[in-house]
Structure 1
Amino acid sequence: MDLLRMRWRDVVFAHWRVDPETVAARLPDGLHVATHDGDAWLGVVGFVMSDIRPRGVPAGRSFPELNLRTYVTGPDGDRGVYFYSLDAADRLGVSVARGGFQLPYYRAEMRHTREDDGAMTLRSRRTHDDAAPARFDATYRQVGETWTPEPGSLAAFLTENYRFYTEGGGLYAGDISHPRWSLADATATIRSNTLCSANGFERPPSEPIVHYSPGIDVTAGGLGRVG
């Protein structure tokens, strides 16, 4: 049953290729690294969470959000996302997500702006008590027309994920639903990014692969224990 409805708007995906063993060392029991052509990936995904609301509620809340994630296979055999951290500029939303979905959300001061030339800037500074400090500051823009990623492609591997895993007294999974992504190539100037170090990773040495999406409507259900 769908519990929440929302729109993810002005989404930037920045992904770094990493060694699978590096990721495996920082996964909970029951999860295994998912790879594409032998590579694991760490992704920073930022967007505006727009009009998030419980099912049946006519209007919701909107705020910027930012996460550090990787891709895994669970004990049920399904592939999905594992979040190392999620930062959001909404105190209530963080409290609900931490309590109801057992996700590692943190409060942050965040700002998302769009310029007349189409460039977007996302800035974030974590303010959550007793949490590792983390900052992100980047400007990104769409390059060219949008397209739908081909099944089996790297772009599909990095974006077409409909299950997430989380831990909290056990391993749990939740499902989301949305149409296939409409993506565009993108550029990003990343002035600051300490999300990796805040989660125990060294900064990836390579430049990221960057995609942009204007947005997508999403529904999310509840959690169920797996494994």
Structure 2
Amino acid sequence: MDGRELLTMRWQDGLFAHWPADPELVDARLPDGLHAATYDGDAWLSVVAFVMEDIKPRGSPVGFSFPELNLRTYVRPDDDIDAEGRGVYFFNLDADDTTSVAVARRLFALPYYRAEMRATREDDGSVRFVSRRRDPEDPPARFDATYRPSGEQFVAEPGSLDAFLVENYRFYTDGRELYRGDIDHDPWRLQSASVTIRDNGLFEANDFDQPPGDPVVHYADTLDVTAGRIRRVRR
């Protein structure tokens, strides 16, 4: 990111649950300038849950931690707005941190929502992640899942579906304008995983039907991440 790091953080106990989707349905929900990226003809919708630990501005000795939950898809931009390629698009970003949510919504009108969240590591190595939005004026969304890693850690092969779904270093979100940001980190160290989802209101909250079938599931233990400034995209 050419020395423009704004934040440093560590992501812990990450769940990635991915469902294939019709590209036309996803395109219909995207802002101008972005189109659904596909793998073997499918667009993908992913629920991602993790704990953001020790997040702090550059130079700050003090960090803070909170869980986050999002629904995202994978996009390719028009060349005239961003020639550097593919990234993820966030439909929502739910977080258990009042200040971060308030700042993001006030300054950029980004789809951040204040939620009560709990991420608990159980004795058997599984993680229970529970989330409920707090503001009655927001679209209601609950999430309750237990996930457990299995198998050896691996790094996704370039060109594979795993890489398409997790190795993304640019993100987009639509507030008052279309914004983009960049992150930097080592390749994900993934594990296969199982998940039991008791409640998932993120699709309905974002006007999607609940996708059929079981998701493709990844687990990631820890990853150190740096993030740059969010920037408005010209359209």
The bucket for the TM-score relative to the shorter chain is: over 0.9
Equivalent pairs counted in the alignment come to 227
TM-score (normalised: structure 1): 0.96
Contact 1:31–1:73 under 8 Å retained in 2:
yes
Q: Which runs of 5+ in 2 are unaligned?
A: none
Task: Name 1:117's counterpart in structure 2.
Answer: 124
Q: How far 1:101 sits from its partner (Å)?
A: 5.5
Map of 1:157 onto structure 2 = 164
The percentage of aligned residue pairs carrying the same residue is 63
Name the CA distance, whole Å, in 1 between partners of 2:152 and 2:47.
Answer: 22
User: 2:110 is matched with which residue: 99, 103, 110?
Assistant: 103
In the alignment, is the contact (CA less than 8 A) between 1:101 and 1:223 conserved in 2?
no
* Deviation per residue, 1:31-90 (Å, 9 max, x gap): 011001110000000000101110011121111110000000123141001000011111
Q: Does the CA contact (< 8 Å) of 2:108 and 2:175 recur in 1?
A: no
Could you tell me which residue of structure 1 aligns to residue 60 of structure 2?
57
Partner of 2:21: 18
**Alignment of structure 1 residues 1-227 onto 2, 5 Å:** 1-75=4-78, 76-77=82-83, 78-100=85-107, 102-226=109-233, 227=235
Return 39-48 or 128-137, whichever deviates more: 128-137
Deviates further, 33-42 or 169-178:
169-178
Contact 1:102/1:166 (CA < 8 Å) preserved in 2? no
Assess if the C-alpha contact under 8 Å between 1:85 and 1:104 holds in 2. Answer: yes
Runs of 4+ in 1 over 4 A off after TM superposition: none
Whole-angstrom distance in 1 between the partners of 2:136 and 2:8: 28
Structure 1 unaligned runs (5+)? none
Q: Deviations over 1:124-173 (max 9, x none)?
A: 00113521000000000001111000011111100001111122333221
Distance (whole Å) between structure 1 residues aligned to residue 113 and residue 222 of structure 2: 23
Asked if the contact 1:142/1:186 (under 8 Å) is kept, the reply is yes
SS at match of 2:5: coil
Asked if 2 retains the 8 angstrom alpha-carbon contact of 1:6 and 1:218, the reply is yes
Cα distance in 2 for residues equivalent to 1:165 and 1:68: 12
CA RMSD of aligned residues (A): 1.2
AA at the equivalent of 2:94: D
**Structure-2-length-normalised TM-score:** 0.93
2:16 and 2:217 in contact (8 A); partners too: yes
1:71–1:80: 8 Å Cα contact kept in structure 2?
yes
- Supply the distance in 1 between the matched residues of 2:162 and 2:215 (Cα, whole angstroms): 13
